[in-house]
């Protein structure tokens, strides 16, 4: 049975802008686009406490990476035709991919895998990855605004700086810098920057990258971060599953990153198992859970493609927006 026969409306009989393919149907697409991935590659790509095997990379992410190269080539042709029509000089413009999803859902791992696979295709050898963590307001500013307990919510980011960065990237600027965020210090690193130099593809990963544009006080809306995306991916799972993954990750961090005396969360390293679970649940219930339900989950329908994970973290199905 071909993948086409596996497609169905993802909301029963109601119309939907997505074509849905289950894991087995999607994986068949990989047979037409082989690419070698090794166990060493997998070790580098695997995220914290995220079970990921070669089979999943080959069956899910390989065909996705190939699809993305097709989109990239098509957009490049469209830009060329538009430049010719306007009688302008053709200018190289990076293909920008947004990757969104909750804390602990695995969007960082997804982004790393896509960067690795995309860089192996001949048409997209230069791929950069930027996270929106670098655009969080410094802790001092968050404290001044009374937002430390809202870190990760839309209002905790320097949205204007993020929009400026994306505008410069899409405008073809040769070099664009990004602030560096340290998960050890839980803050922006003063004076440190990452420089992006006109990549073929730029992946922008973050919690709120698919958020709707803000409504202006006098009416109308401003620019949305997603206005600069050529393609977007939302990594999805049941809220209850993500909550459990977050707690599991917290327990792992307690014994690893939090054990560093210089870590911002070093105070959690000495917690007992029960205390650590209770602390993680409190953080989830007061910060990450509400942010997911209020701000992140509602943006799912804005994505070009949705990766749906099951309870064991493996991808169960893929929803691709119809053109």
CA proximity to 72, closest of 30, 137, 125: 125
Pair of tokens at residue 309? 């994970």
Instruction: Name the one residue in this structure whose structure tokens are 């307690």.
Output: 254
- Say how many C-beta atoms besides its own lie within 10 A of residue 162's C-beta: 22
pLDDT tens sequence across 31-53: 776 677 766 776 666 655 566 78
pLDDT of residue 46: 64
Q: Quick check: helix, strand or coil at residue 140?
A: helix
Nearest-5° Cα angle at 115, 26 to 203: 100
Q: What is the pLDDT along the chain (323 residues), one digit of tens a residue?
A: 334 333 444 445 567 889 999 998 998 887 776 677 766 776 666 655 566 788 888 899 999 999 999 999 999 888 889 888 888 887 878 999 999 999 999 999 999 999 999 999 999 999 999 999 999 999 999 999 999 999 999 999 999 999 999 999 999 899 999 999 999 999 999 999 999 999 999 999 999 999 988 877 777 778 999 999 999 999 999 999 999 999 999 999 999 999 999 999 999 999 999 999 999 999 999 999 999 999 999 999 999 999 999 999 999 999 999 87
Pair of tokens at residue 86? 């306007």
pLDDT tens sequence across 40-95: 776 666 655 566 788 888 899 999 999 999 999 999 888 889 888 888 887 878 99
DSSP labels, 35-99 = ----HHHHHHH--TT----HHHIIIIIHHHHHHHHHHHHHHHHHHHHHHHHTT-------EEEEE
Class of domain 33-315: alpha beta
pTM: 0.90
Can you give the residue ranges of every domain in the chain? 33-315
| Beta carbons of 123 and 199 less than 8 angstroms apart | no
């Amino acid at each position: 049975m071909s993948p086409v026969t596996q497609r169905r409306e993802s909301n029963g009989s109601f119309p939907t802008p997505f074509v849905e393919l289950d894991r087995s149907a999607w994986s068949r697409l990989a047979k037409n686009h082989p690419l070698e991935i090794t166990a060493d590659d997998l070790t580098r790509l695997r995220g914290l406490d995220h079970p990921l095997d070669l089979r999943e990379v080959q069956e899910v992410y390989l065909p996705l990476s190939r699809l993305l190269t097709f989109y990239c080539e098509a957009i490049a042709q469209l830009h060329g035709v538009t430049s010719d029509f306007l009688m302008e000089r053709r200018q190289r413009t990076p293909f920008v991919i947004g990757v969104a999803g909750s804390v602990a859902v695995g969007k960082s791992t997804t982004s790393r895998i896509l960067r690795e696979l995309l860089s192996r295709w001949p048409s997209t050898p230069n791929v950069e990855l930027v996270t929106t963590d670098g655009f969080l307001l410094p802790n001092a500013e968050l404290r001044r605004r009374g937002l430390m307990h809202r870190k990760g919510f839309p209002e905790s980011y320097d949205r204007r700086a993020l929009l400026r960065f994306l505008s410069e990237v899409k405008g073809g600027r040769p070099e664009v810098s990004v602030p560096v965020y340290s998960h050890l210090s839980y803050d922006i690193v003063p004076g440190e920057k990452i420089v992006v130099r006109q990549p073929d593809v730029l992946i922008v990963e973050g919690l709120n990258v698919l958020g709707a544009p803000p409504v202006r006080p006098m009416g109308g809306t401003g620019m949305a971060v997603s206005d600069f995306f050529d393609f977007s991916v939302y990594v999805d799972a049941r809220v209850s599953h993500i909550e459990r993954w977050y707690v599991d990750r917290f327990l792992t961090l307690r014994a690893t990153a939090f054990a560093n005396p210089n870590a911002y969360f070093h105070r959690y390293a000495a917690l007992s198992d029960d205390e650590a679970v209770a602390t993680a649940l409190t953080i989830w219930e007061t910060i990450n859970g509400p942010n997911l339900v209020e701000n992140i989950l509602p943006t799912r329908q804005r994505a070009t493609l949705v990766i749906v994970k099951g309870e064991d973290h493996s991808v169960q199905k893929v929803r691709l927006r119809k053109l």
